Amino acid sequence: MTRNLIGKTCFSLFVWFLPLSLFCQNGINPYHYSIQKKVLCSKGAVVSAHALASKTGVAILKQGGNAIDAAIATQLALAVVYPGAGNIGGGGFLVAHLSAGTNIALDFREKAPALATRDMYLDKAGNPLLSLSQNGPLASGVPGTVAGLFASLKYARLPFSKLIQPAIDLAEKGFTLTEAEADAFNKNREAFLKYNSIPPAFVKDSGWKAGDTLVQKDLAKTLKLIRDQGQKGFYEGETARLITEEMQRGKGIISQDDLKNYKARERTPALFDYKKYTILTMPLPSSGGVVLQQMMKMAEDQPLKSFGFQSVKAVHLMTEIERLAYADRAKYLGDADYFKVPVKTLVSYPYLNQRMSLYNPEKAGNSKDIQGGTISPVSEETTHIDVYDKDGNAVSVTTTLNGSFGCKVVVAGAGFLLNNEMDDFSVKPGVPNMYGAVGAEANAIAPGKRMLSSMTPTIVLNKNRPYLVVGTPGGTTITTSVFQTLMNILEFDMNADDAVNKPKFHHQWLPDQLFVEAAFPAAVSEQLKKMGYTLKQREQIGRTEVIRILPGGQIEAVGDSRGEDTAEGY
């Protein structure tokens, strides 16, 4: 049984006169759909940033696909209907818990091309050239998403052709845009024209409006190549040629060899205990696993629950914990295949206890005094998908182009956007990237290296069965949003809806500011200022998706109200 708790119909169809069967794929009408924030169901659920993608995922579950099948189909659908972040030209991470007990962590993060150099975004005087790490073909890392889809296929049940077909249909026949989507295309029009030799499908001279249909013929062609030729349909042959031609036109450096050599990697999942729960999340090259583990372990013995949700004491404690963890992120974290990262020490209790000795319950810390810890030598675009199926398999995937619409370059003739993930490297020690994150040697650019990420796809297990599936976009706010969402449920006893939608706050060590959402309680803000914090309002922190499996087996799935995210289930 499915019960819609909140349903918001957003726009209607203007092509009713066309035979509906032509468009209704799997019972989904891409010209008339609604956004649903919350669902309570009993068999399976999918939450993602777009209604059509969530519906696609649930259709695959209903056809006998498992959670991995649904995650693949949802990702591919997002690459079409949510081009600002859903992608085949970006990368990401997937964690999964299979009902047989296996835990998976799949890394399909982009990597630096072979011609990348440490100082490639510095001018002769050593000044950073952030426009180059953020826009145009040079900003793009070698895409990982398609390799990730194929690496996850071994855990899937249905043939790939079935999983990709809904995306092909959505690209070929089009779908109706919401107002927010139309606005996003209009806002980025100049950038699309500036960075593309051939105007992409996202440019419409008369401007987009809600209810318009977006058709992406070139993207459909690329997706068909991937359907028919597998991974090679992207990394070799025509698509690879079109990518390298785009590089030549825009002075990018991704080569055919870079593409051919790209490999998704199965990593040992980050797995740690928090009270009676086991947390399964992403290890390096995402900082998420280390930072989340540090924060949760520093919080574990603190009386957060008795302080109360968003009490001054609780926010102060959690902010200082965030500051300490992010200072370590800047100093120590990077791709562990290239830089020796002391992960074991960073997440050990003696080290974290020593870090917590810097916490003063009475006053705000100071990021000048609080640096990354000392370790002895021994040692605004991304998108998230949650899936849970009837057999108890859970999948949490975060994928990204980095900035909204990535580097703004659509590969001409191939119809997909390239990422601007190179900006996630530290272009120069201490120089903030587009999320204000600073880094050092650990995250310096090197050929073939993966740039440090904050993406934190997470599954909480209770007695080795999924209890929560959680994740979010939001750059550096990702890990703090996941941290707070988990604390909201595990410590403050909230349901998934409140855990996602209550206002969030964020501290990332540098800048030394406490970011709060507009709805953050004003009285608490005032008291925090008196304790020495500099507060800054931020439009939104995270767009978190949560699936919670209730004790009787019912599934509560929630999409963040900060966006058009949709929860579907059956």
542 binds ligand DON (CB under 6 A): no
473 binds ligand DON (CB under 6 A): yes
Shortest distance, position 398 Cβ to ligand DON, whole Å:
8
Out of 169, 424, 556, 568, the only residue in the binding site for ligand DON (CB under 6 A) is 424
Shortest distance, position 383 Cβ to ligand DON, whole Å:
8
454 binds ligand DON (CB under 6 A): yes
- HEC states along 155-187? HCCCCHHHHHHHHHHHHHHCEECCHHHHHHHHH
Q: How would you classify the pairing of strands 505-506 and 514-517?
A: antiparallel
The nearer residue to ligand DON, 38 or 109, going by C-beta atoms, is 109
Chain residues 380-399 in contact with ligand DON, contact rule CB under 6 A: 380-382
89 binds ligand DON (CB under 6 A): no
Partners of 387 in beta bridges: 46, 395
Shortest distance, position 420 Cβ to ligand DON, whole Å:
9
**Active-site residue, selected from the candidate residues 239, 382, 399, 479:** 382
The nearer residue to ligand DON, 74 or 134, going by C-beta atoms, is 134
Give which of 359, 457, 387, 348 is closest to 91, Cα–Cα: 457
List CB contacts of 547: < 8 A, sequence separation 6 or more: 45, 47, 386, 387, 388, 394, 468, 469, 470, 496, 555, 556, 557, 558
Helix (H) or strand (E) holding 326: helix 312-332
Task: Give the number of residues in contact with ligand DON, rule: CB under 6 A.
Answer: 14
Residue pair 449/117 in contact by the 8 Å Cβ criterion: no
Shortest distance, position 477 Cβ to ligand DON, whole Å:
8
The nearer residue to ligand DON, 169 or 564, going by C-beta atoms, is 564
Residue-level length of the chain: 570
453 binds ligand DON (CB under 6 A): yes
Partners of 459 in beta bridges: 280, 469
Query: What's the rounded Cα separation, in Å, for the pair 304 and 221?
Result: 53
**CA-based torsion, 322, 327, 332, 337: positive or negative:** positive
564 binds ligand DON (CB under 6 A): no
Binding mask 341-380 for ligand DON (x = CB under 6 A): ---------------------------------------x
The nearer residue to ligand DON, 87 or 402, going by C-beta atoms, is 402
Out of 148, 174, 475, 563, the only residue in the binding site for ligand DON (CB under 6 A) is 475
400 binds ligand DON (CB under 6 A): yes
Told to judge if 382 belongs to the known catalytic residues of this protein, a careful annotator would answer: yes
Give which of 427, 409, 428 is closest to 418, Cα–Cα: 409
Residue pair 336/343 in contact by the 8 Å Cβ criterion: yes
What is the residue whose two structure tokens read 């580097």? Answer: 407
Query: What's the rounded Cα separation, in Å, for the pair 93 and 285?
Result: 10
Q: Which stretch binds ligand DON (CB under 6 A): 25-33, 112-120, 467-475, 513-521?
A: 467-475
Positions touching ligand DON (CB under 6 A) are: 380-382, 400, 402, 421, 424, 453-455, 473-475, 478
Catalytic residues: 382
